[in-house]
Structures are given as C-alpha cells and as structure tokens.
Structure 1
Amino acid sequence: MTRWVFILALALWAGAIARDGLDRWVDATVLPPLQVAVSTELRDRNGHLLRAYTVADGRWRLPVTVEEVDPTYLQMLIRYEDKRFDHHNGVDPLAMTRAIGQALWNGKVVSGGSTLTMQVARLLEDGSTGRWSGKLRQIRVALALERHLNKDEILALYLNRAPFGGNIEGVRAASYAYFDRPPRRLTPAQAALLVALPQSPETRRPDRAPDTATAARDMVLQRLHSDGLLDDATVTAAMRDPVRPTRHILPAFAPHLADRAVTERPDSNRHDLTLHLPLQVALERLAADAVAGRSDGVQIAMIVADHQNGHMLASVGSAAYSADAGGGFIDLTQAVRSPGSTLKPLIYGLGFDRGLIHPETLIADRATDFDGYAPQNFDGLYRGELRVRTALQHSLNIPAVAITQALGPHHLLAGLRHAGADPQVPGGAPGLAVALGGVGVTLEDLVRLYAAIGNGGTAVDLRWYDDATPGFAPRSVINRAAAWHIADILLDAPRPPNVQGTGIAFKTGTSYGHRDAWALGFDGRHVVGVWMGRPDGTPVPGAFGGDLAAPVLFDAFARIKPQVDQISPPPHETLMLPTAQLPRHLQQFGAAEVATNTPRIAFPPDGAVLEDGLLTLKVRDGRAPYVWLANGQPVARTHRTQVDIDAPGVGFSSLTVIDADGQSARAQVTLR
C-alpha cells in the first residue's frame, strides 16, 4: 500500500539534490490539452443564464471564471483542500511529508497530500491517483502547470473540470443542478457541500445519497470551524440546513429563440442576448396560465421589445417547450398567419402620411362593391358617415378597404416591407383583401410594424444580439405626425370587458374563420405582440382577438414595469383641426364631385409624398382615351380612369394627364 510513498519520497529527495535535473525534467513535460469542450450557453442582457446545451458526450460543463464564483466558497475550497495553494510551486512539501508519515505510521494511505494543482493535473489527464506512476505523473504535470499558468488560471481549471456526480462537471453546472442558482450566490452550507462532492462525486450525490452528502458537508464545516475560517453561528446554521434529495433541470428559458440564436451563430459557445431574464420568466408563466385548462388546443406566442433601440426583451414561442400535441416545439412567433385587422393602423397611417385623410375626415361606412370585391363589417352592420378616428377605433372594414383602394394595395405591402416585415401574398399579386388579412405575416413581422409606429413612424431593427450589425439603416414607414395620430387614436380604442390599463395604444385582430387571435400594442417605450390560436391553423370557434389575446396583452404590459411610458406629445407639424376647418379635400373622403369637361388627377394628389416603385394613377372627368406623362415623357395611354405605372424614380416628379379633347391636369409629387 505504501510502495508509492517511498518511491515518491525518493524522487523528491533526488530532485532536491539535483535541482538542474529537476528543472530539465519539468521543462520537458508535455502538458495535456488545457481546453475542453464546454456547454453552449445563452445569457441575458445582464449576464444571467437563459439556457445551456450539453456538450457532445452529454455532460453539463458550464464555463466559469474565478470572479463568477462566491468568494466564501473559494476560501473554503482552498483552506480545506490546499491551504498553502498560494505559496507552493505545485507540490506542497509539508502536506507530502505529512502524508508519507501518516502512511508509514498506519501502514496505509490516510491522506493523499495532493495540492489543487495536482488535482487539476489528474483532471486534465483523467489519470489514476492510486498507483505511484500516476502520482508521479501528476507531480510532474503540476510543477509544469505552475510554470505556465498563474494561480487564478489553475484555480479556474479546477472550477471548470471538477466532477460533481453524474454528468455534471464544474462548480457552475453543479450550483445550478443542485441549488438552482449561479455559483456567486452560494450559502455556507451549499459551498461546503460543493467542496466535499469532488472527493467522491458518485457516493456523495445529494440527489441520490442525501445522508452521505450531509455527513461529508458537515465534515467540511467542522474542519473549517476548527481552522478558524467559520464561526460558531455560521456552522450551526449551515448544519441545520437540510440537504435536499433533488436535482434541478438547468435553466431553459426562451428555448425557441435560443435555438434560433445557436443556428445563426453555430460556432459560438456563448451568446449574449438582449433578453431580460425576469421579464422572460414572467411572460413564460403568463403564457402557461393563458392556455392552462383549455381543451381546444389553443397555443400562444408573445414578443416584447424596446421600440427605441430594437432590443427584444422577451420571446415566448409557445406555452411549453415540449413534444406534445400542442406543438410546443414550434416557434409560433415565426408562424406565417393571417393578420386579420391588425394591418388597419398601417392603412390609416399611410393615408395620413400621403394627405388622403385626417383623423377628423368624414368617411362613409356603407355597403360598397369595390370592382367585384364586396366586404362586410364584422358584425354585418353599417354606420353611415363617421370620422376616420372612429372608423379605426371600431375596426370597420369598409373604410379600411376604401382607403386601401385609394392607396393601392401594393403600397400597403411596401409599407410592411419598409417596417422590416416579409409579407407573403397568396398568388403573388396583392388585391384589396390584403386590407382585411389576405396576406401572410408572422408575429415578429407585426411587432416590427407596431414598433415602427411607436417609434414615430421610423422602422426599428428588431434584434436579439446587442452586437449585431443593424439589418438596415433607419427608414421612414410613415411620417411623425401620421404615427402620432395612429397612437392617439389607438389610445382610446375600446378596451375588452374587465381589462384595465391606460396609456397603451393597441389593436386587436381576428383572422377569417377564427383561426388567429391577435393583440398588438405599444406605449412610449415598449411594444408587445400576442398571438393565440391552434398550431395547425385550424379554426377555434368563438375565438376573437379582443376577448382572447387582448387581456394577455395588458397583463404583459403589467409585467414589464409598474407604470407605462407615456407616448410623446404631437410633433409640431401635426395638423390639429376639427372637420369643418380642415382643407376641403380632407373634410370628406371620396365625396362625389360635380363632373366637368376638364380632367382632374384624383390620385396622387398634388404635393403627395409616395414610395418609389409601382405607382397608381387615377383621373376624374375629361374624355377618354387618356395619355399620362411623367416629367414630360409619355408613360401610359388608356381608356380607363386608373392605371399603374413604374414610378419615374426618387425625387420630385411632375405627372400630367391629357384627355381626348387635349385638356390636361398636372400634379407635383415626391418619390422616396
């Protein structure tokens, strides 16, 4: 049993008398690899662990630095395992002499005399501790390590490689697995248990042998008390703390977004995201509560972002990340769905931006046939003439389609794309049905749109990496005044029954067949999006955005902060007038006019600011055929009163129409 002790003593003695030979022997040491595969992990904006993945062999090995570990644990570890760690060169002669003497006196090994550096050497090579050859190798590697690394680097190797039972390696993984907390927040009782575990990680596992783990922990506490590191009160309280026979699942928050991030940057072991862990946890619980007890298979997805800087603060892909009939593994923030009425704020915003309407403009809500397309309001009723403000607040369909016709549906899609969305159009050619949800978008697309409105009409580069290169330069979706008008209108939108919350501009939507229930909203800083429905896209009878998703939206805002951020006051250029004082063309939308023999350009109006791309031209009165000129060049000849042309290019343009009698009309527009 003591053979290795005598040989070791002989080796040390020989080394002492042959210093040069020892130096050459140590310097010739080939060190084992110091790097090892570590778990890929994702942290929130404050460095808190969101989610981690095991390494290829199935082990949890979370990287940790000395600074990330509780100082009391480090003191306990060094005092218990290697009290002269800061002073020896890898081998502690006093500890080794003690071990040799105890072995000679007892006829067996009582204490090993290993330093922390020697233990690191064994961990790096996964070597034996019982055979003299293995011990000698550890001594050699330990001496070499001390010549290549400083003490903190050696300690960090131990903290990352020490075994703690099962597939857990390193103090950080152990702290999460056994105590569900990071290692910087250990109690004395927890720290003592983690000191004791690596000596016999399988027999002392608290989840399998809590009594053995308790005895080992208490032994550490008593030794440190005898050494004067811990006082009576600390030891007494620590020994009363029960060792619980549990093993926690390591954090797995924002799992869907984590999967996306790892896919996007597969070579990174650490991903620092913009998410806020407390908010993420709160919204995951809210999502689970929102669908709990339902028997109709409804799922949920939510996103919260800061619309001033584009940082995503929380992302919930489903109510539970699990393989079940509820589609838990599907990231429903990315599912392409019909948006229902949630595009109406963009429709009205574009109308404000281009001088077609004002919140106080009167608009007709009556049965209308739009060249074969005859939509109805959701309740089948018509309200006659009313203000644009009221039409949007009550989400009426006819006015929204009428404005879309005046804009041109392709301009609505252009607005979506400028916000950063990627709308999917069935058949590829947009029609007026896009106004009421006849287009495919994702929850993330809609959050981008509402973020732009909340951000004064400027698109927001929604992202979850703070260091990510912006996806696009800031660009205008609608002007500041138009964005403020939309916010002002939606602030007073009717709340669902029993829903509290002021200062939040919001819009709900329900897709055709009750397949999707939506709620989008923003305050002066944050934007929130909620989708609810079935993962397979089948109808949910009786599901409405206002009843199903809106209450969750307001609950989400309540979890962001106690008070909402106020929406900014109107910009100086905002036109704040009652209907009667508006310019004549803004007093009533689409009012019938007395026909004359002179042609007039109905769209675009003079002075309009339009998006570059396909341009819709409309003429009233005059006599067909009509010839259209752009900057003096013929671009179209038609017998119809409406025609689409390719826009002449960014900047100022002059549009002219000439009828069959040679009479003309002109409009100056700006293309951007």
Structure 2
Amino acid sequence: MRIPVWVTAIHAAILAMAAGLFVLDRALPPDMGRGTEMSVVVTDSGGRALRVFPVEDGRWRLAADIDRIDPAFIDALIAIEDQRFYEHAGVDPLAVMRAALTSARAGRIVSGASTLTMQTARLLEPRPRTLGSKIVESWRALQLERRLSKDEILELYLSLAPYGGNLEGIRAASWAYFGREPERLTAEQIALLVALPQSPEVRRPDLRPANARTARAAILDRLAASSLLTPARAGEAAGEDLPSRADFPAAAWHAADEARRRAPGVTDIVTSLDGGLQAELESLARAEAELAGHDVQIAILVVETRTRAVRAAVGSAGRDRQGGWIDLTDRARSPGSTLKPFIYALAFDDGFATSGTRMADIPRAFSAYQPENFDRSFRGDVTVAEALQHSLNVPAVLALDAVGARRFAASLDFAGAHGRITASGDDDAGLAIALGGVGLTVREVATLYAALGDGGSARPLSWLDDQSDIDAATPAQPLMTRETADEIVSILRRAPHPGGRMPAELSRGAPRIAFKTGTSWGFRDAWAAG
C-alpha cells in the first residue's frame, strides 16, 4: 500500500520540527547563572547559624534545600500556585484554558496560568511582562523540566522567589522575619511566605502591614478551602501579629571569613566552632577591652587539643574599635616569653638540661645583647623548672644559646609556626627569639601549645567540621618527645598564678592549668597560652 504524499509530508514536518527544537534546546539552553549565585551561610558544629554573607549585589539569597523546608509549606505553595505541578511538563494546558475562560468572562485578566516552573524561568531570566516574554518563559519551562527534577525546580524557585527589599528565597525570608530556618513553620508563617512573592513590595510586613495582613488572611482562607487547615485554625492564624524585619546572624566575624576561605564555592559551611562558647568569648573580649582602654584590642583562640578543632576564634574585641576589622589571630606579633617552654623542650631532648638542672640567673652579656628580667632583678642559682615557672630571661637565653637559635627557629617552622625575623646575619639577634624577638600569630602559638598538650606532635588547626579542611589533613610533625612534653606541662602546671595566690575556696578541686604568659617589648602585647 502506497503512503499518501501528504502523510509523508506531515511526518517529515514533525521530524523537522522535533529536530529543530532539539537543536534549539541545545544551542540556547536556559541561563542558570542566578541560580548558582547564592549567599554563604556559616554555622557552628551543631548547625547554629553564625554569619550569613549576602551575594555581591547586596541581596540575601540562600540556597533552598527541599529536605530542610517544612513539608506543610510545600503543600500550601503547590495548592495556591500550581496544583498540577507534579503532573505537567512545565506548561499546564488546563491552567491556560481556565485562565483564558475566566478572563474572557470577566472582560479582563483575572488570573495567570504561570506554573511554578514558568515562574522559575522568569526568576532565572527576568523580562518585562509581555506576551513575547510569556512565550519565552513557556519554552524555558519546558527546557527546565527536561534538565531538572521537580524537587530541583522547587529548590530553584524557593531560592530565587522575591520576598521584598533585598530578600530572595524562602530561607532569606524566614531568617529575616522569623529569625530561623524554615524547617518548622506555623500556619500564619506559611501563609505569609506563600503570599509575599505574589506582590513582594506591596505586601511587605515591615513596611505595609495592612496589606500583608490582608494577603495573609486571603491565603489562609484558601488553605482552609483546600482542607489544608481547619477554618478555626485559619481564623486563629489570621489574628496573629505580623513579624518585624530582623538582622541576619553576624557572629564569629573573622572566623567565618576564615571558614569561607577554606571552603570556596560552598554555600552552607559547617565549622568546628562552638556557637555558645564563641558568643561568650566575644562578650568577654569586648568587656575586657572596654575596661583596658579605647586603643586596646583582644584576640582569643580556643583549640581542642586532641582534634586541633578550633572551637572559638575572636579576631578582635569589636569592629567598632580601632583596628577591629583586622583578624588579630592571623597577624604576626611579638610572642614575648611564650616560646620559652619550647626552648627548654629542645634542651631536654638534646640532653643539655632536665627540669632539675641548675642555672645562673645573673647579669650576663651575649656579645652586645644583655637580657634582664621583667622586674629588673635576678634570682641567682635556680633550677630550670623554677626558671620556666617564673619566666626568667637569662636562663632561657642560655638554653637557647646551647641548642642554637637558628636550629630552634627551624624546629618552630617545621611545626607550622613560621617566625617572621628581620635577618641581621649574627647570633645575637637570633638569641632575642627567646624573649619574643620573632613575629608569630595567635594561630601559630596555639599550634605549638596544642602540640605541647598532645605529646609533642604538631598538626595544623582544623576550622571545618566535616574534615574537608585541607590543612587539617597534613600529617603530624614531631616537635618534641612525649616524655619531654609531659615534663614541660608538669612544670607549667606548677607555675604561680599571674594574679597571685588564689583563695582556697576558689581553687579547691579546680584543675591545674598548664599556662605561660608573655609580654612583648614596650608592653605592646600581652599573651596567655596554655
């Protein structure tokens, strides 16, 4: 039987159209750029948000995760915006017909037929609202459905949907209006979050509360009509107060910067920080700095010895204070006497001294270098343990002279503490390392003391909770033997308290802390490490 020519022509036209659409789809794919530019959220190890970074244009746009959004909100959104979302392929012919009939009867446009996928296409590539734009959005919606799952399309929509001002996406709106993630929402919160993207500026609860209340009530009525709420619950929710606009989390300012540097391209960064401890130490740093004077800054770093996890990092006492924008945990400063334990550790390992070795704390010149103690007095004959506990300078320089200043500096460098030294080419300048004549950061000093508390093995600090921190994977480096580390810790535990003897009722049963203080030349920097 011969096939009619017109049938062949139709088949050829269909094939040509399909081929053309295939080529067009590949040649002009949807622009997903806006869907990849997301705010960064930095959390502590328990998931508590510490700081949120806006995108470059100042907008708050947080990547949505369907598994972390209240399912009741998803049900409400689909019931209001796109009831056949899981059935259509991007464009809903039934919705188009319904909208056309409704508008024809009313003589004006009453409702649109945009599916959630079409709205997502418009959010990805904003255009003026014209018939031509609607055709492009329909085509883009079909393209999105070919490339993404329904959940992925929902996540895109919920990341980009406008919520008024510089808020985009449900997470940004939930943080701004409710102060938390949208994992568990009340009926009134769900209704407001569904209503806002329809007219985000007109319905802003912080600027136009009457409009927001009316829109929320209308959504609640529709949810009740859809049996997603009881009429009683809808009425109760409609009477609830509207939220005000809140600030995004902005704690752990410098630590969050460091975490972001270590996890490029990641939008939700889980750090090793303890949010509660971080908040306490930020308050402590500010209070102590205010007592000390307007030109004083404070930095604090807390590291878990066993894991090297950074549990708290305070880069300054406040960005409103002089130098407060600088992360002082990462700026080299003179460490004062905090390196003395490591000088004696090297001397112990070399067999040059033990904790009971006696040394002369008397005036002595090392070529042109003549150290003296903090109180400008000398103790005479002392043991190494006493010299370290009282931070005597001459014995420390004697020990450094014995082990070699350059060798000691190399051991610090090997452990990850890269001293900044102005090379002068003579040994006298090198001996000043014992009293702080080298620049180290708080992070580097913490690395050394963590090694001291962990049997003498030095490892980099870890800032991220999921073990993705590249530095943290660096193998441990031996700084001293375990026996020496234990001996140095024992000596430091018996050091006198810097504030004098503590009352028995305050110190009874308290753990003995192995610590060392340090003061740089000119009293510019005061340290405490342990």
Same fold (TM over 0.5): yes
Q: Distance in 1 between matches of 2:262 and 2:383?
A: 47
Q: Distance in 1 between matches of 2:521 and 2:496?
A: 22
Name whichever structure is richer in strand by fraction: 1
Q: Distance in 2 between matches of 1:128 and 1:227?
A: 32
Q: For the Cα contact (< 8 Å) 1:39–1:52, is it kept in 2? A: no
Which residue pairs with 1:442 in the alignment? Answer: 441
Please, which of 263, 284, 299 is the counterpart of residue 286 of structure 1?
A: 284
* Distance verdict in 2 for CA 1:359–1:42, change over 3 Å: farther
Which residue pairs with 1:91 in the alignment? Answer: 91
Which residue pairs with 1:33 in the alignment? Answer: 31
* Deviations 1:245-276 (CA, angstroms, capped at 9, x unpaired): 3242x333333344455567766666554444
Q: Distance in 1 between matches of 2:29 and 2:410?
A: 61
Which residue pairs with 1:311 in the alignment? Answer: 309
Please, which of 403, 407, 411 is the counterpart of residue 415 of structure 1?
A: 411
Which residue pairs with 2:431 in the alignment? Answer: 432
Please, which of 482, 494, 497 is the counterpart of residue 495 of structure 1?
A: 497
* Deviations 1:494-553 (CA, angstroms, capped at 9, x unpaired): 3344786524321111112210011111xxxxxxxxxxxxxxxxxxxxxxxxxxxxxxxx
Partner SS for 1:63? coil
Q: For the Cα contact (< 8 Å) 1:42–1:273, is it kept in 2? A: no
* Distance verdict in 2 for CA 1:481–1:386, change over 3 Å: same
TM-score computed with the length of structure 2 as normaliser: 0.84
Q: Distance in 2 between matches of 1:317 and 1:237?
A: 47
Which residue pairs with 1:361 in the alignment? Answer: 357
Q: For the Cα contact (< 8 Å) 2:63–2:267, is it kept in 1? A: no
Q: For the Cα contact (< 8 Å) 1:301–1:316, is it kept in 2? A: yes
Q: For the Cα contact (< 8 Å) 1:346–1:415, is it kept in 2? A: no
Which residue pairs with 1:197 in the alignment? Answer: 196
1:350-499 mapped onto 2 (5 Å cutoff)? 350-428=346-424, 429=426, 430-465=429-464, 466-470=467-471, 472-497=474-499
* Deviations 1:158-190 (CA, angstroms, capped at 9, x unpaired): 112211112222222222233332232444332
Q: For the Cα contact (< 8 Å) 2:338–2:517, is it kept in 1? A: yes
Which residue pairs with 2:183 in the alignment? Answer: 184
Question: More displaced, 85-94 or 114-123?
Answer: 85-94
Alpha-carbon deviation of 1:431?
Answer: 3.3
* Distance verdict in 2 for CA 1:395–1:149, change over 3 Å: same
Q: Distance in 1 between matches of 2:147 and 2:351?
A: 72
Name whichever structure is richer in helix by fraction: 2
* Deviations 1:632-663 (CA, angstroms, capped at 9, x unpaired): xxxxxxxxxxxxxxxxxxxxxxxxxxxxxxxx
Alpha-carbon deviation of 1:40?
Answer: 5.0
Partner SS for 1:508? strand
Alpha-carbon deviation of 1:42?
Answer: 5.0
Alpha-carbon deviation of 1:222?
Answer: 2.7
1:521-560 mapped onto 2 (5 Å cutoff)? 521=530
Q: Distance in 1 between matches of 2:96 and 2:39?
A: 39
Question: More displaced, 424-433 or 340-349?
Answer: 424-433
Partner SS for 1:245? coil
Q: For the Cα contact (< 8 Å) 2:42–2:259, is it kept in 1? A: no
Alpha-carbon deviation of 1:423?
Answer: 0.9
TM-score computed with the length of structure 1 as normaliser: 0.67
* Distance verdict in 2 for CA 1:313–1:172, change over 3 Å: same
* Distance verdict in 2 for CA 1:144–1:367, change over 3 Å: closer
Alpha-carbon deviation of 1:203?
Answer: 1.1
* Deviations 1:339-392 (CA, angstroms, capped at 9, x unpaired): 111111112222222222222333333344444543222223333434332332
Q: Distance in 2 between matches of 1:182 and 1:138?
A: 30
Alpha-carbon deviation of 1:463?
Answer: 3.8
1:327-366 mapped onto 2 (5 Å cutoff)? 327-366=323-362
Q: Give % identity.
A: 45
Which residue pairs with 2:254 in the alignment? Answer: 256
* Deviations 1:180-224 (CA, angstroms, capped at 9, x unpaired): 322324443323221111000111122322332232223222321
Question: More displaced, 481-490 or 44-53?
Answer: 44-53
* Deviations 1:280-314 (CA, angstroms, capped at 9, x unpaired): 34433332233235533111112222333333333
Partner SS for 1:431? helix
Partner SS for 1:280? helix
Q: Distance in 2 between matches of 1:306 and 1:122?
A: 48
- 1:516 maps to amino acid: D
Q: For the Cα contact (< 8 Å) 2:262–2:469, is it kept in 1? A: no
- 1:493 maps to amino acid: A
Alpha-carbon deviation of 1:141?
Answer: 3.2
Unaligned runs of 5+ in 1: 1-17, 522-672
* Distance verdict in 2 for CA 1:374–1:146, change over 3 Å: closer
Please, which of 496, 511, 514 is the counterpart of residue 520 of structure 2?
A: 511
Q: Distance in 2 between matches of 1:185 and 1:73?
A: 9
Partner SS for 2:388? helix
Alpha-carbon deviation of 1:52?
Answer: 4.0
- The number of residue pairs the alignment matches comes to 500
Question: More displaced, 93-102 or 387-396?
Answer: 93-102
* Distance verdict in 2 for CA 1:361–1:175, change over 3 Å: same
Q: Which has the higher contact order (CA 8 A, sep 6+)?
A: 2
1:220-299 mapped onto 2 (5 Å cutoff)? 220-231=219-230, 234-235=233-234, 238-248=237-247, 250-260=248-258, 273-292=271-290, 294-299=292-297
Q: For the Cα contact (< 8 Å) 1:117–1:145, is it kept in 2? A: yes
Alignment partner of 1:69 is 2:69: yes
* Deviations 1:560-600 (CA, angstroms, capped at 9, x unpaired): xxxxxxxxxxxxxxxxxxxxxxxxxxxxxxxxxxxxxxxxx
Alpha-carbon deviation of 1:228?
Answer: 1.8
* Distance verdict in 2 for CA 1:152–1:414, change over 3 Å: same
Q: For the Cα contact (< 8 Å) 2:456–2:478, is it kept in 1? A: yes
- 1:171 maps to amino acid: I
Partner SS for 2:354? coil
Q: Distance in 1 between matches of 2:366 and 2:161?
A: 73
Q: For the Cα contact (< 8 Å) 1:307–1:460, is it kept in 2? A: no
